[in-house]
A and B are shown apart, each in its own frame.
Chain A
Amino acid sequence: MDLAYTEQQDAFRAEVRAWLEQNVPAEPLPSFDTEEGFRLHRDWERKLNEGRFGMVTWPEALGGRGCDLIEWLIFEEEYYRAGAPARVNQNGIFLLGPTLMEYGTEAQKARFLPKMATGEEIWAQGWSEPNAGSDMAAIRSKAVRDGDHYVISGQKTWSTRAVWADWTFGIFRTDPESSRHRGLTFILVPLDAPGVTVRPIPQLDGLPGFAEIFFDEVRVPVENRLGEEGMGWNVAMATAGFERGLMLRSPARFQETARRLVQLYRDNRAAADIDPTVREAVMRAWMDAEAYTLNTYMTASRLIKGGKIGAESSTNKIFWSELDQQMHETALSILGARAELKPHSVGAEGVGRWLDGFLFSQAGPIYAGTNEIQRNIIAERMLGMPRA
């Protein structure tokens, strides 16, 4: 064990920091759940890629830097420290990208990864359906083989950023006789294909951050299948593994939130201390963000040495999502009677972005597998408790 960065790692950090200082927009971009914001975030992805900072863990041939997970963590730390824009293509680069590298053919990798890296193609994920939420194996949307095409019909929902995205990936039932986890196939679908209809769904903040996707006999070439026919569940689980495991929420994000929370508390101390529990909650935010960081470094080190992510990764999802809720609740309680005010509205000086963050933190325990589902997984697969 050696909990200090190497000179090489320090140099990498300095390089990232310098580049971000030069390039991060001075003013925060508008939300990527608006048309303009989406376009600006797409532009940002291209710029990042030009600096070869789009996906640092990817191989150099694909515009990456072949970084290991520790360097990825360093990159993320600098990224959040610099207040750089949110990653509009995170479904692509963090989830589908690694899955493609594991299951994709060479032709698929060459076709999809470079455009993913530049932001030219932004990805939405299509797992959930109206009747397949937590119970994802209840998927009914079907893909019927017709020569060298699949013909897709059905409906996906809650698909994040699908309103302006270019592609979606998801699993579809290719074997009509099958049920549950069998007979599903992982397919990549262009959202501009004839027969696709995307209907925006406004989220808590009123913006269309996700969408329903309707498929009416959409023809997709067989080359767009990832992995074998009927093996879609396994491929999807690998993707969900990346999501829960490490890449979806890097610790830097929560460390920065905790730092801002400490600052908010210090700036409003007299009012905040009227509730004696606030100080402890702020301190705990720091402790938990620190614990999450340490844990992630430990996991990253283990993976670098050839370890695998197991069911214990379900503890991550619970930990960060509840931490995020707790931090934002605490922030709002410090802001007191002004907490309800939208930024830029009358009387809202100094409320910052806490309200938006609070709203979004309510989704954390729901998406990427609800926390109840994660607790089931922990109990049954990590602790080995009896199945229901």
Chain B
Amino acid sequence: MDFTFSDDQLAFHDSVKGFLTNEVTPEAIRDLWQRDGGRSDELWGQLAELGLTAMTVPEQYGGLGLDALDFVLLAQECGYAALPEPLVETVMVAVPLLAGLADEHRQLQEHWLSRVASGEARLAVGHPSNPLVADAHIADLLLLCHGDEIHAVPAQQVQLRASESVDPSRRLFAVDWTPSDATRVAGGESGRRLQAEALDHGALACAAQQLGLANRMIDIAVDYSFERKQFGSAVGSFQAVKHLMANVAVKAEFSRAVLYRAAFAAARGQANAAIAASHAKIVATEAALLAARNGIQVHGAMGYTWEVDLHIFMKRAWALDGAWGTRGFHKARVGDFVFADGAPLGAGATFEAR
């Protein structure tokens, strides 16, 4: 039993955090909002250069062959930075989905995964839990669900209609396409399994970002609470203001281990991975939503403006709340688990046997 990250995992986390702090600033994000498509090839290239797009690509396709546990701290940092590029979904959802196809699709996998690893190609995933497809406009290959099936559809074969999210960093699209035998890469039992795994991975990806977002909003609000003076004092010295933030800290603190356990369960393909992911999504989302609500309160009217950076992070938190399964969906899953006959509850039931 060891509930710590390895030195390698921590060192990689530090270097990526450093990169994101320097490169993905609120100014850079606002700059991306002004651009057509809202994305930067240059930034994606830098992420690929850091090895990030290759993380979960199997080694045989030029990747690093790592897993959700290796990436979860980085996903948290992507949330902390509110990185607009779809790195987290690519690494945690799209790549494992493509890599999880049956052996007969080796050529397809080799072609695309090696290019994803090197940063030359990008993927997007259309899943029934999300009404629209995120980042479809920059994808070279779209993995689209259709009933029980999964289709791998090149960008040339789809038509996109752009939607608009509350979060200007989000780019969502309705995708018009025609399923065919040529595009179908999974169906039946394996299609259902892959779709279910994609959902769990997507929930985990959201959870990690939400926790990062919660921490960022705490930091922003704490900074502001020093700057802003009223009644001759920094507003952060008022106890009512302090306790707003302390409440967020408690929620964030107690979603951390839940998130890491979910990442571990996903990485090891444990039987409890789905419930663990749902649990993580629920509590990390709640932490982020409380951080948003209390964060704006600490800012007063400033928090209600476009100018103050807080909204970059609040809006991401609000948007991700409904992505990859709503809280209602995830609560229902946890409920089904907890209330089932013979559910493993109580002291000593937390960890699965080896």
Contacts and interface: CB of A to CB of B under 8 A. Distances in A.
B347 A255 contact: yes
Contact of A294 (B246, B261, B331, B338): B261
B257 A383 contact: no
Contact of A295 (B226, B254, B354): B254
B151 to A, nearest CB: 35
Contacts of A288: 254
Contacts of A374: 246
Contacts of A319: 250, 253-254
B343 interface: yes
A375 B250 CA distance: 9
A78 interface: yes
Interface string A61-96: 000000000100010111011000000000000000
B247 A375 contact: yes
Interface stretch (A185-193, A195-203, A256-264): A256-264
B234 A283 contact: no
A279 B331 CA distance: 10
Given A319-B254, A376-B242, A378-B249, A298 B350 contact: no
B141 interface: no
Interface in B1-46: 1-6
A108 interface: no
A385 B239 CA distance: 10
Nearest to A311: B249
B260 A255 contact: no
Contacts of B239: 372, 376, 388
Interface in A337-388: 372, 374-376, 378-380, 382-388
B4 A301 contact: yes
Given A385-B237, A387-B237, A290 B254 contact: no
A379 B298 CA distance: 13
Interface string A1-34: 1111110010001000000000000000000000
A288 B256 CA distance: 12
B260 A385 contact: no
Contacts of A292: 254
Given A4-B351, A319-B250, A379-B246, A294 B258 contact: yes
A315 B250 contact: yes
Contacts of A385: 222, 225-226, 236-237, 241-242, 245
A286 interface: yes
Contacts, number: 178
Given A1-B69, A301-B2, A386 B226 contact: yes
A291 interface: yes
A379 B346 contact: no
A297 B246 contact: no
B347 A76 contact: yes
B338 A3 contact: no
A283 B335 contact: yes
A331 B89 CA distance: 40
A311 B353 CA distance: 33
Contacts of A375: 242-243, 246-247
A290 B257 CA distance: 10
B108 to A, nearest CB: 33
B271 interface: no
B188 interface: no
A266 interface: yes
A318 interface: yes
B253 to A, nearest CB: 4
**Looking at B6, B338, B349, which has the most chain A CB atoms within 10 Å of its CB?**
B338
A386 B249 CA distance: 16
A297 B1 contact: yes
Interface string B314-354: 00000000000000000100110011000101111111111
Given A6-B1, A382-B249, A81 B348 contact: yes
A305 B4 contact: yes
A152 interface: no
Contacts of A78: 347-348
B255 interface: yes
A295 B237 contact: no
Contacts of A211: none
Contacts of B352: 3-4
Contact of B338 (A5, A253, A262, A388): A262
Contacts of B170: none
A287 interface: yes
A287 B334 contact: yes
A252 interface: yes
B279 interface: yes
A255 B339 contact: no
A231 B238 CA distance: 31
A297 B3 contact: yes
B264 A3 contact: yes
Contact of B339 (A81, A266, A318, A379): A266
Interface of A: 1-6, 9, 13, 70, 74, 76-78, 80-81, 251-253, 255-256, 258-259, 262, 265-266, 279-280, 282-283, 286-288, 290-295, 297-298, 300-302, 305, 312, 315, 318-319, 372, 374-376, 378-380, 382-388
6 contacts: A255-B345, A283-B331, A286-B345, A318-B250, A375-B246, A376-B246
Given A282-B338, A286-B338, 20 more contacts: A3-B261, A4-B352, A9-B1, A70-B1, A78-B347, A252-B348, A262-B343, A265-B339, A286-B334, A287-B279, A290-B258, A295-B254, A298-B4, A315-B254, A380-B242, A383-B222, A383-B249, A385-B236, A385-B242, A386-B233
